Structure 1
Amino acid sequence: MDQHDRLSGDSEPTEEAEAAARAEAAREVHLTMDLCLRIGEMLLSSGAGAADVTATMRSVADHLGLRQAEIDVTFTALSMSFQRSPDDVPTLMMRHVQQRDIDYEDLTAVDHLVRDLLTDEADLYLARSRMATIVSLGHAFPRWAVTLAWAVMAAAVGVFLGGGLVVSAVAAVAATLIDRVQIVLARRRLPFFYLQVAGGAIATLLAAGVAATPIEVDPSLAVTANIIMLLAGIGLMGAVQDALTGFYLTSGARLIEAMMSTAGIIAGVALGISVADALGFDLGRLVPGKLGSISELPVEAAGAAVAAAAFSVACYAPRRAVLPIAVTTAAAALVSQAVELNGFGRVAGAGSAAFFIGLVAYAVAGRVRVPPLVVAVPAIVPFLPGLSIYRGLTFLADGGYFVSQGILALMTAISVAIALASGVILGEYVAQPLKREARKLESRLAGPRLVGPFRAMTRAERRALRKQSDG
């Protein structure tokens, strides 16, 4: 064999090795992008803001070597592209968000997975295995416990509104019926609008039926309590948060979804009133968003606390977080009432309560090992402007003299929603200032993090932490 043959023979293994290395690198890129998209899908479907989803995906991509990846998050899809060099063909992957049920148990598990990944406690392949396990496992709470949680929440909202025991009992029964009927309709793949129509109709018909008996009950308060329950899962805060952090497309989509869900409730209530009139039940005039008389602030605080805790259970929050959420909400309700009683108005009261929630959510979440979002969202549920939206759309539907009242109610709802979202974010800014390392790692982070890691520990920090724990 001459020298030329020997050189040819030596080059073949080198070319094969280079081809194998390129194939392995492409496989690593594919697996990393798939993991990032799956993490983003889980966070977005569980109610996380688009800014938090983008920053978390970027943290994982940067840590796994994809430092020039482009990430785009919208309301229904996530996309990610990566090009290692100008000569390479870019890789593009996209994932659609199919599920919209809020699941704080999976959100917490994914949050812990991301933290372990960024601290090198898990590699790419272990992270993918754990992600598959999170998706495939069921919930810690059985489904009947979620129905019971919705019933408790509706009863607590009745107390929060000052409706008394009868209103709370009617609201709890209606909530149970609404949840079970919505489960049946969801299995038939009906759009969420029709589920809200069914919920509004059930609440109105049950209130009308009880009002036709000798039992004394205010139908307006009973219907109002169930309306808040139906509106609790709507992402008004997420919509305003996305608008504040620059994700206007996602914000607009979430606002449209919230308006359609509210319109479904109004259509259901109107249908219930029509059926009640046909059956000869005298409902009188339903006053949307009517409040009862609350003589003591502790009663209102207790109602808000129980409502927030029950909502967290209905969204599968970890058990260890339920009591801290209730305590935080009770304190926020007292803050809100203190501000309102001093003449600052409802918007200022809601903003003050949200600022308090954002201020303590980071510390409380750290103590119970959950993302701050799991604490913040249930805590602001009693302060959501769902009633103002309902009042506004109802008055606009009546027309004539009520149009001006409807516009005023909608403007109040928008003001309260902005005050809640901006108050929570401002509280997070004060409680959780971003450090220089986090800014370098996540250059696109548009606001404080409600979910996801803030900064990955360095190897020196991990060694020092291990020495401290061993000592």
Structure 2
Amino acid sequence: MNRSPSALRASRGRRGRSGRVLDLALRLGELLLASGEAAEDVEAGMLAVAHGFALERCDVSVTFTLLTISHQVTLADPAWTASRSVRRRGSDYTRLAAVHDLVRDISERDLSVEEAYGRLLRIRRNRHPYPHWMIAASTALLAGAASVLVGGHWTVFFSACAAALVGNQLAWSLATRGLPEFYQYVVAAMPAAAAAILLDLVHAEVLSSAVITGGLFALLPGRALVAAVQDALTAFYITAAARLLEVFFIIIGIICGISLVLRAGIAIGIDLNPAGTLVIPSRPWLQTLAAGVLGLTFAVVLQVRRPVLGYAVLSAAFGWICDAGLRQAGLTQAVAVTITSVLLGLGGQLIARRGATSGLPYTIPGLVALLPGSATYLGVLFIVRGQTGLGATQLFSAASVGLGLAVGVNLGGELARLMLPARPGQVYRLTPDFALRRRPVARVWFRRR
């Protein structure tokens, strides 16, 4: 079919603008995915950007580290497709919140493409909110607070801090030399186990296993596990499988690092008795304080905005109190953690939805006190001592706690969506199972005034 010259020029103009919008959506999606957002929310953000600039016939695909978006200008034109790979991933929740603010403004305000690009460039150029030394110190304090949480005293606290600091620096040096993440976690887990063996060698009357458990709290990939389970529950199965495999190799790396050092300790005559690890002394006030410090330090490591730090402290302390109370009532650890994470996910997502921002800064820091550090250490210790059956049981228990934590957070988010439903006028898309029911394209992006 022949077209007039004016129609061809108009079509080229629309294509040029469409290309810039698609590139903007891809770059914003890259920042969202790199920050640990679930695939569903990344897809929602990219579609919100496209619809904000009146690109109606768009399709988005998120597959682990690959983003693809296509747009058909008119029904008579072929679809344009663009893709982008996420090369580097990090945990800067301040940048994540800024991206959410930009996507929300694109959806609600009359921003031009040039204005949106300008804000995107400023977001990418902004420095991290906390210096590197503060991140390293927070990692050390996180491990120390976790060791107190599981029964350690001052000697254990300082030992866990020093071990985490050394492990963090060793992992950082390997990362700068381009070694895979697996080896970084192997090396990062070793100093905590070495510190525990050293305490046993000098016959210190302390709970040396708490040093290793504290180090595990600093290393276990709880954030990645939550994202992987959410992807699985929302039918992004390829992305979920890839993320779960990534979590699996991280945990295997941690286990390998601890096992190598523990085997060396047994070889030189260190008696690593699991019985002392099974009984955690009850010190409610001190442990609640330690849980709050855990939430604060983990929030700093994740680089959340400063106004959110107080909420991170309160949510972590509340999570510990709730979990301890439920276990005191006779519930198993997995059930108690699941119920607690539902409450934390619900509260965090309600606050995030009211503020039209990401729920990750409000939910993830509060979960760190619930990680199965003790069960993981016991599983490794039993295996090293040759008690494979008991070790597998403990590791299975740790896996069930982690799964319950991730499912609970997702369920809390879904309850928040039901309690604060989308308002009329929002953009919609089909659910992953292609049912006739339609749900909002962005549960967080839009807030009608």
TM-score scaled by structure 2?
A: 0.89
Letter paired with 1:62: H
- Which of 297, 310, 314 aligns to 1:310? It is 297
Equivalent residue pairs, number: 442
Residue type matched to 1:356 in 2?
Answer: L
The 1:422/1:204 distance shift into structure 2, 3 A limit, reads closer
Mapped to 2, the partners of 1:152 and 1:397 lie a distance apart of 28
Instruction: Output the aligned Cα RMSD.
Output: 2.9
1:175 aligns with 2:164: yes
Report the alpha carbon displacement of residue 336 of structure 1 after superposing the two structures with TM. 1.2
Percent identical residues: 29
Inter-CA distance 356–233: structure 2 relative to 1 (3 Å threshold):
closer
Structure 1: which 5+ residue stretches go unaligned?
1-11, 462-471
Alpha-carbon distance in structure 1 between the residues aligned to 2:215 and 2:61: 37
Per the TM alignment, residue 408 of structure 1 is displaced from its structure 2 partner at its CA by 3.0
1:69 CA displacement = 1.2
CA–CA separation in structure 1 for the residues paired with 2:276 and 2:81: 48
State the one-letter code of the partner of 1:415.
Answer: S
Q: Per the alignment, in what secondary structure is the counterpart of residue 292 of structure 2?
A: helix
Residues 208 and 436 (structure 1 numbering): CA distance in 2 closer, same or farther, change over 3 Å? closer
Q: Which of residues 88, 93, 96 in structure 1 aligns to 2:77? A: 88
CA 1:448/1:422 → structure 2, altered by over 3 Å: closer, same or farther? farther
For 1:375, the equivalent position in structure 2 comes to: 362
Tell me how far 1:289 sits from its aligned partner.
10
Distance, in Å, in 1 between the alignment partners of 2:341 and 2:130 is 28
CA distance in structure 2 between the partners assigned to 1:51 and 1:117 by the alignment: 19
Name 2:413's counterpart in structure 1.
428
Q: Residue 248 of structure 2: which of 252, 255, 259 is its match?
A: 259
Match of 1:34?
23
Q: State the 1:303 CA deviation.
A: 1.5
Q: Is 2:426–2:440's contact at 8 Å kept on the other side of the alignment?
A: no
Check whether the contact 2:156–2:211 (CA below 8 A) recurs between aligned residues: yes
Question: Counterpart amino acid of 1:435?
Answer: P
Query: Is this contact kept in 1: 2:108–2:446, CA < 8 A?
Result: no
Question: Which of 356, 363, 373 matches 2:343?
Answer: 356
Aligned to 2:435: none
Residue aligned with 2:67, SS: strand
> 1:288·1:391 contact (CA, 8 Å) conserved in 2?
no
Of 384, 391, 397, which aligns to 1:412? 397
Instruction: Quote how far apart the aligned CAs of 1:324 are.
Output: 0.9
Of the three residues 140, 145, 149, the one matched with 1:156 is 145
Report what 1:337 is aligned to: 324
Q: 2: distance between equivalents of 1:177 and 1:156?
A: 16
Report the Cα offset of residue 456 of structure 1.
4.4
CA distance in 2, matches of 1:132, 1:295: 51
- How much has 1:415 moved relative to structure 2? 2.8
- The answer as to whether partners of 1:220 and 1:286 remain within 8 angstroms in 2 is no
Q: Deviations over 1:65-113 (max 9, x none)?
A: 2222111111121111122234312211111111122111111110111
- The answer to whether the aligner puts 1:239 opposite 2:228 as a matched pair is yes
CA distance, structure 1, for counterparts of residue 230 and residue 239 of structure 2: 10
Pairwise CA distance, 1:150: 0.4
1:131 paired to 2:116: no
Superposed CA offset, 1:336-386 (max 9, x none) = 111111112112210121111122113444688852211101111221235
Residues 394, 135 of structure 1: alpha-carbon distance in 2 compared, 3 angstrom cutoff: farther
Structure 2 Cα separation of the partners of residues 387 and 362 of structure 1 = 28
Check conservation: 2:47, 2:441, Cα contact below 8 A.
no
Per-residue CA deviations over 1:274-317 (Å, capped at 9, x if unaligned) read 55567x5x432264993553323232222222112101101111
Aligned residue number for residue 4 of structure 1: none
CA distance in 2, matches of 1:251, 1:167: 37
Greater shift in the superposed pair: 382-391 or 308-317: 382-391
